Structure 1
Amino acid sequence: MILETVKIKNFRGYKTETIVPISNLTAFIGKNDAGKSTILEALEIFFNNSLVNCEKGDLNISADNNKIEITCVFTDFPTELIIDAAIPTTLQKEYLLNAQNKLEIKKVFAATAAKPKEKVYIICNHPSVDNVKDLLTLKKAELKQRAKALGISAGNYNGNVNSSIRNAIRESFENLELKETELLVDKEDTKKVYDTLKTYLPLYALFQSDRQSKDDDKEVSDPMKIAVQQALSELNTELQHIKDQVRIKAIDTANRTLDKLKEMSPDLANELIPEFKTEPKFDSQFKLTIKSEEDIPINKRGSGVRRLILLNFFRAEAERLRAQHQGNQIIFAFEEPETSQHPDHQEMLIQAFTELSNTGNSQIILTTHTPALAGLLPLDSLRFIQKTGNDRTIELGTEAVFEKIADTLGVLADPISKNANGILLIEGKSDVTFINHTATQLKKGGYINQTFKDKRIALVPIGGCGNLKHWTTLRLIEQFAIPYGVMLDSDLGTNEEQQNRDKIQKLKDNGIKAYLTRKREPENYVHLDVLNLPADSTLNLTDTCDAKVLIAAEKTSRKQNVLENYWTLMSTEQIREVEKYDDNGTERYEFTEMFTDLLSIVQ
């Protein structure tokens, strides 16, 4: 299931019900004490109530009642549920979806005790007519009695299946008088439905920026716990087979016991029914941790090291999930990921978050008030939080809001030379080296007439064409009133490919000269001859491989330096060789044509 919206009421700084849209990547931005972490902790209470517990003191000081409410709205819920007799039913048939046909679950905590217990409601467009509105709370015998009282023939339903009896009763009414209902899930099939739904809920992992240090530090143990849960979810078929076999053999033993009991006390035996009360919890049986050298606890290392381990957990997950899509949805919630990290690591973390959010079964939620990190975030992921008295407001999606964010955090555009005639927006600093060297060599060979330096076209790294840094840079460009173009990596073969194509097409539709590389990124064009590889090397660069990682591993160098170290060794002939491609029988040259067009922005 995918979390689409969270609603918070009477929880800490959120008095009135505040609706918070959640996307694949969501970033909460605001000043300290604006209420960013509160949303992450409200979700922790909703999904786990363990790392953060709901407490009496969490009630908003101006609340007009004692009820803390946390509501989550989901899409992509299971099409079928089995809640009795192994016969499937659906949320639609049971009228358990809201008016927008989404699954909405509310948890209410009455702040009358130090540790309030939850009451769970499904907010749904439910029948309100008498004799139908309470069907999910009735036992099988009561359902049969209700059907009989309504004159419904037993031949119209399967008397051993509750959902079949409920369906027959509902079909006997012309108008069910549907209305929004808060259906308490506390008994009979309402509880069974929710118990089943819980197995489909996303895994939620909250990584806090400030916590006590202990041997099982959550910064390390939580990712490993998630790893165990993921492994179990991927082995669900095998585990279900084990559970079924245990259930069959155990119930068989119980039935044989009852058969013997019938010989001594038939009346007592007929009253007894074998039933499993709880499902086994396999995840509690597996413990996974990471030790440092000489058995030094990870928590005794610096906070930067611990969070660096966490950073690479995310990067490893991005790599794994890029190639597969299975198991439960995972929500990674991360407070201030920039804490104790070098700026280079911050950029890598945002890249890992972006990749994870595009895998299809991961959502990323984070908070930040660091300008450098916020500048790298996609515009559509931003949620701006402001404190208004004893309440909070959340804004997203307009230029006015982006202006507020940039002003609040101090996000600055990259500096642009005042004598620039034009601007070319590119992804990163290494792309400056790539473009300048390529243009110089193509001019040297007579394939283009001028370089970007010759035309005083400034090369400005902005990370991506849909992030806050890009937006602030464009505002600066507007002040200069000079033309600009865009050249970005295509990320061919990754989950970001289509997103990049859409962004570039939008720019083109607005009359901007905008290009993506035909291959994944500039490193994929490196000529093998400049690498000076040993004779037994098997390195092969494809259009979609992670070339900078492969080259860095082969040459035992840093992947961030691949273009600086090796592209600058490329000759004109080698560049022409790697840029050549076939277009329906026509020989074409990618960078020669692309640069010629981009250079034309300045006449």
Structure 2
Amino acid sequence: MKIKNVTIKNFRSLKDVEIDFDDITTFIGPNGAGKSTVLRALDWFFNGAKAGSLSEEDCSYGAVNTAIEVRVVFTELTATDRQALGKYVTTDMETFTAWKTRTPDGVETLSANAKGYAPFTEIRNTPNATAKRDAYKKLRASSPELDLPSANTGTAVDDAMTTWESTHPDQLENVPEVQTNFFGFNSNSKMSGLFDFVLVTADLRASEEAQDAKSTVIGRILERSIDRSTVDAEVAEIVESSRAEQQAIYDRAFGEQLGKITNELNRVVKGYTPGRSVSVRPADVELKAPRTTFQLSIVDGETETSIDRQGHGFQRTLLISALQMLAQSGTAGDEGAICLAIEEPELYQHPIQAQAFAKVLRTLTEDESNQIQVMYATHSPYFIEAQKFHQVRRLTRSSDIQPEVSIHAATLEEVKSRLNGIIKPSSVESQLDGTISNQLSIAVFADRVFLVEGTTECAVFYGLGDREGVGSLEAAGISIVPVSGKMNIPLAHAILSTLGVPVYAMFDADLGFEDRASSAGKSSEKIEEERKGHISSNRKLLRYFGYPEADFPMEKVGNQVAILEDHLEDHLHKNWPSWTASLQELETSTGISARKNQEAYRTVTLRSEGPVPPVFQAVLQAVQVRA
């Protein structure tokens, strides 16, 4: 069993959102967008009181008269799941839906879809046996074709409806059944052992999770790895024997004395109350056999210390290691599932450790023999793989007085559809596996993205931004992303824009390619082949951005894309002479070639005198304003 879909209503910053889940689901977005709120809503759904009771402050922007609701749809139901859930999952059901609600008066109810006859729902929800019997009698009278048997008690009515449903499966449908004890994911109920949800918050202390308790990470590992029953039984026998021996000592030491006191006391009592007597004896010894518990400490050389005396980094490493072991040691039951929800998994971690952790958990989820699901709320690109962009959920928040959170996701099918007629569907995956994947993992975190062909454009425009204040583009949340060739622009643009990232792009039409090809000594056949390639690429790019097609389009700065007639360096040499002079001075002073050197181009752009070419100023403005 795994989570397929979640709907959250009126919970903190989430007014009404619906989220699809994968084996790994990565939540990204700016601070305050609601990434952690999603995880905490699920923690309330699964763990209830352990996660803490909700209050009116948890309602979205003071909507205290509206219920808080979290609905979860499960998929990949196993035979064990179906057997445990019974009527809630019949053989024809591919999913199972359950939800938790907090009403405005503070009452929390747990519900699940069961297969049933819809008219019976109102009868089952009646407040008492008399009302149930009357409602059933009314249905019998109004619908004689149902051939319902008579029933004179509430229990008889329930039995009659259940029997009727079992013999009329073709008339059943999904109906909500409300029970306050349905879930109990961590107790003896229908969901116990089927699905285990573990939330690791950013402020979770490893010292707390290292305690041997039922709800802690270490406690869960020990519970699944160690059978304490035999030892606990033996200890219980020792305790009982000790209790009996202690009682015998009391009897031997005090028996005679207490016997005398009893006789004397009864002699006096009988004078006042005939027929009754008293007894004085040693009180029964109360000894309770303790449950076997374990203690975790840290050994550093010859020194052993408690976990809370370690640094934050080591504590987080220990917690992550325990989570990994928890996932590897087995799931919630013999065939149950475990879901790890981790807030800021990169916290306190060395980058290499963070990468290793992300890889291990991804490997665990990709193993079909495991029933493991993982979700992150992260700011780190280490927990995103561009090839798996469909696993990203990007949250954005409007700037209204009562802002609304939106969830953005992109599927491979959606991206291929946007690229129809531009890139062959079979080529999309291969392009993702190329150099574009190295850039997308960072680009998805940007507030705005500027897509360019290569590192030259990237360096020059970062340098132009520096002229307004060093690092000004980065400070504005703008990321310039080189995609290694203009025909990679549509794919990157399609993915980012589908994820809700504002995107601006720029490419050059390579009008001067023929002169460069001739200077390089290329044959006429090669030049003609190159011409066809440029024409094809230019037309596809214009088609993608909705412009009239042309072999070699003219220079243009539009709302979505800027087009240069020829490559950037040619434009710099022709329109910004001081830039070329500054580059030559840098090469002379350093004694190295600065051609295509990204840092050199950024420095030269910052230091060059003279007016910046108008087209570059227009592009920079478009990136900052329209992107």
The two structures have a TM-score, normalised by structure 2, of 0.47
Answer with 1 or 2: which has the greater Rg: 2
The two structures have a TM-score, normalised by structure 1, of 0.49
